[in-house]
C-alpha cells in the first residue's frame, strides 16, 4: 500500500470518528431536552403545594419524582421522597436552587407514596397508583 492510500484511509477513519462523535452529542442533547426534570416516562401525577410542585413519572415498572420550587433562586431546603409499599423511602434532601431529585424506584405493581418539600411547605400523596 502506498503512502497516499494510507493517508486517504486515515482521513476517512478520522472523518467517520468525528461524525459519530457529533451524532452522539446531538442524541444526548435531545434526550436531555425531552425530560427537563431528569425523569424518563410519562407524567402520571402533579402534586402542587404552596411553594412548589412535585412531578411524578412512570415507565416500565419504575416511578420517578422531582420536586421543583415555584420561585427558584437562592438555595433553600428541598426534598423529594418515593416509597414503594413494603420498602423504605428513597430520598433526595438538601439545599437546592431549583429542584430536588430525580429519585427513581422500581415499584412493579405496588402502591407508591410520594412526598415533596420546598422550605416549610410539603405535599404528601398517600398511597397512589395501586
What is the number of structural domains in the chain?
Answer: 2
Q: Are residue 109 and residue 82 in the same domain, yes or no?
A: yes
What is d(CA 42, CA 83) in angstroms, rounded to the nearest whole number? 19
Q: Are residue 10 and residue 50 in the same domain, yes or no?
A: no
What digits encode the pLDDT tens for the residues 23-62?
333 333 333 333 456 999 999 999 999 999 999 999 999 9
What digits encode the pLDDT tens for the residues 46-55?
999 999 999 9
Q: Are residue 53 and residue 105 in the same domain, yes or no?
A: yes
- Stretch 105-121: mean pLDDT: 96
Q: Strand ranges (DSSP E) for 2-118?
A: 42-49, 52-59, 62-69, 76-84, 90-96, 99-106, 112-118
CATH of the domain at 108: 2.60.40
pLDDT at 96: 97
Compute the Cα dihedral for 48, 53, 58, 62 and give only its sign.
Answer: negative
Q: Are residue 30 and residue 49 in the same domain, yes or no?
A: no
pLDDT at 20: 46
Q: Does the model's pTM come out above 0.75?
A: no
pLDDT surpassing 70 at residue 14: no
b/e map 69-97, b = 16+ CB within 10 Å: beeeeeebebbbbbbbeeeeebebeeebe
Segments forming the whole domain that contains residue 6: 1-34
Nearest Cα neighbor of 126 from 69, 45, 40, 22 is: 45
Q: Are residue 123 and residue 100 in the same domain, yes or no?
A: yes
pLDDT surpassing 60 at residue 117: yes
pLDDT surpassing 90 at residue 64: yes
pLDDT at 7: 56
Q: Are residue 64 and residue 108 in the same domain, yes or no?
A: yes
Strands 121-128 and 90-96: unpaired
104, 92 Cβ separation under 8 angstroms? no
Q: Are residue 27 and residue 52 in the same domain, yes or no?
A: no
pLDDT at 1: 62
Cα-trace Rg, the chain: 22
pLDDT at 33: 31
Amino acid at each position: 500500500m502506498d503512502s497516499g492510500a494510507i493517508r486517504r484511509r486515515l482521513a476517512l477513519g478520522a472523518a467517520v470518528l468525528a461524525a459519530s462523535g457529533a451524532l452522539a452529542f446531538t442524541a444526548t442533547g435531545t434526550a436531555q431536552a425531552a425530560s427537563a426534570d431528569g425523569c424518563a416516562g410519562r407524567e402520571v401525577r402533579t402534586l402542587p403545594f404552596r411553594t412548589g410542585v412535585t412531578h411524578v413519572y412512570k415507565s416500565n415498572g419504575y416511578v420517578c419524582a422531582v420536586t421543583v420550587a415555584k420561585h427558584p433562586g437562592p438555595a433553600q431546603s428541598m426534598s423529594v421522597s418515593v416509597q414503594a409499599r413494603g420498602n423504605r423511602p428513597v430520598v433526595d434532601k438538601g439545599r437546592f436552587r431549583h429542584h430536588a431529585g430525580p429519585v427513581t424506584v422500581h415499584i412493579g405493581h405496588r402502591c407508591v407514596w410520594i412526598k415533596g418539600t420546598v422550605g416549610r411547605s410539603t405535599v404528601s400523596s398517600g398511597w397512589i397508583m395501586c
